Amino acid sequence: MKLALIGGGNIGRFLLQSINIDCLIPNAKIIGLHTRCQEQAKELSREFEAEIFEDVESLLKSDADLVIEAATVEAVEEYAASILLSGKDLVVSSVGALADREFYKCLEEICILNNTKIHLPSGAIGGLDVLKAAKSIGELDSVSIITRKPPQALPGAPLDGEKVLFEGSAAEAIRLFPKNINVSIILSLAGLGAENTGVKIISDPAARKNSHTIEAAGSFGKLSLQVENDPMPNNPKTSYLAALSILASLKNRDEMIRVG
Ligand SMILES: NC(=O)C1=CN([C@@H]2O[C@H](COP(=O)(O)OP(=O)(O)OC[C@H]3O[C@@H](n4cnc5c(N)ncnc54)[C@H](O)[C@@H]3O)[C@@H](O)[C@H]2O)C=CC1
Ligand SMILES: O=C([O-])CC(=O)C(=O)O
């Protein structure tokens, strides 16, 4: 499988190492990357033997079968449609882009017409299987997430003392914190939608992990799940599990017997 990458930050570098050097996905290679910073692109290209795509048009012309986005919500908004129209599948890290129902529906239409697929990894959380099963007969009543991170991982957070930075819907949360609360949108997509998923974001100077606490209830019973994530070494905003979940998505794609 030939892969192309958009974004050369924490997740991008981790994927290049895991796929091109450690060979964790059988028969897969990241053949090239596009990233905003040219210096970063050159360094990664040398280190991991991947081509540099100077723009997305050259990435689209390449013979990659699948594109992995590990950049930003805006990058998904800008490039997702043309990637799918070019016949390539897409794995999205910045799932916050899909909070917009119109955009979601537009990408879904393109996938149907072009026989392409979008894969949305579970990111820095879990429990999506429970929500999907519970909602299959429409009996999921409530879903919420409380995210607690150190202030260095959150924009505008005070360094002294715990503070609730946000309380409201996932739709509003991702508008205000597009780099920090993608988890609320994957949760919304598995469950009750972005308007009906509750989010609380807490900045906590005592926190050493990025923790996400999910509560859900419905006719199935109740779900209570806490993930205590170690951050990526070079970016406290991003949990290591988010990067691992992309590898898991790529593996799922090829599995003949699928769990969950
Ligand atoms: N779904 C989830 O649970 C999680 C999602 N994320 C999201 O994943 C994405 C990547 O995370 P990190 O690697 O930690 O971020 P990062 O900030 O370390 O790296 C982002 C990279 O994207 C590049 N970039 C930005 N805009 C671009 C554009 N328009 N075109 C091409 N390249 C562009 C930057 O130059 C940089 O190389 C972020 O949007 C982050 O919010 C992060 C953690 C969890
Ligand atoms: O990595 C995390 O813990 C969550 C995160 O940044 C996001 O959802 O955007």
| CA distance linking residue 51 with residue 103, whole number of Å | 30
Domain 128-234: which topology? Dihydrodipicolinate Reductase; domain 2 (3.30.360)
Q: What is the mean pLDDT of residues 2-24?
A: 97
pLDDT the model gives residue 233: 81
Q: Which ligand has its closest atom nearest to the C-alpha of 181?
A: 2
Active-site position among 13, 34, 149, 212: 212
Closest atom of ligand 2 to CA, residue 179: 9
How does residue 25 score in pLDDT terms, banded at 50, 70 and 90?
very high
Averaged pLDDT of the chain: 96
Q: Is the CB of 182 under 6 A from ligand 2?
A: yes
Residue 171 reports pLDDT greater than 90: yes
pLDDT, tens digit, for every residue of 36-54? Answer: 999 999 999 999 999 999 9
Confirm or deny that 182 is annotated as ligand binding.
Answer: yes
The answer to whether the CB of 36 falls within 8 A of the CB of 47 is: no
| CA distance linking residue 119 with residue 111, whole number of Å | 11
Active site residue 212: yes
DSSP label at residue 206: T
CA of 113 to the centre of ligand 1 (A): 28
Beta strands (DSSP E) in the chain are: 2-6, 29-34, 51-52, 66-69, 89-92, 118-119, 140-149, 163-169, 197-203, 210-218, 221-229, 231-232, 235-239
| CA distance linking residue 49 with residue 42, whole number of Å | 10
Instruction: Copy the structure tokens of residue 34.
Output: 């596009």
What is the pTM (predicted TM-score) of this model? Answer: 0.97
pLDDT the model gives residue 145: 98
Confirm or deny that 124 is annotated as ligand binding.
Answer: yes
To test ligand 2's pocket by mutation, which of 92, 147, 232 has the most ligand atoms within 8 angstroms of CB? Answer: 147
Q: Which ligand has its closest atom nearest to the C-alpha of 149?
A: 2
Domain 2-120: which topology? Rossmann fold (3.40.50)
61: number of Cβ within 10 Å: 10
Helical residues (DSSP H) of 115-233, grouped into ranges = 128-135, 170-176, 182-190
Q: How far apart are the first and last CA of the chain?
A: 23
Closest atom of ligand 2 to CA, residue 238: 1
DSSP line for 211-225: EEEEEEEETTEEEEE
Residue 259 reports pLDDT greater than 90: no
Q: Which ligand has its closest atom nearest to the C-alpha of 227?
A: 2
Sign of the CA dihedral running 7, 11, 17, 22: negative
List C-alpha distances in Å: 164 to 159, 160, 196, 257: 13, 13, 20, 43
Q: Give the residue from 188, 179, 186, 250 showing the smallest Cα distance to 210.
A: 179
pLDDT the model gives residue 258: 87
Residue 253 reports pLDDT greater than 90: no
Sign of the CA dihedral running 230, 232, 236, 241: negative
Domain locations in the chain as residue ranges:
2-120, 128-234
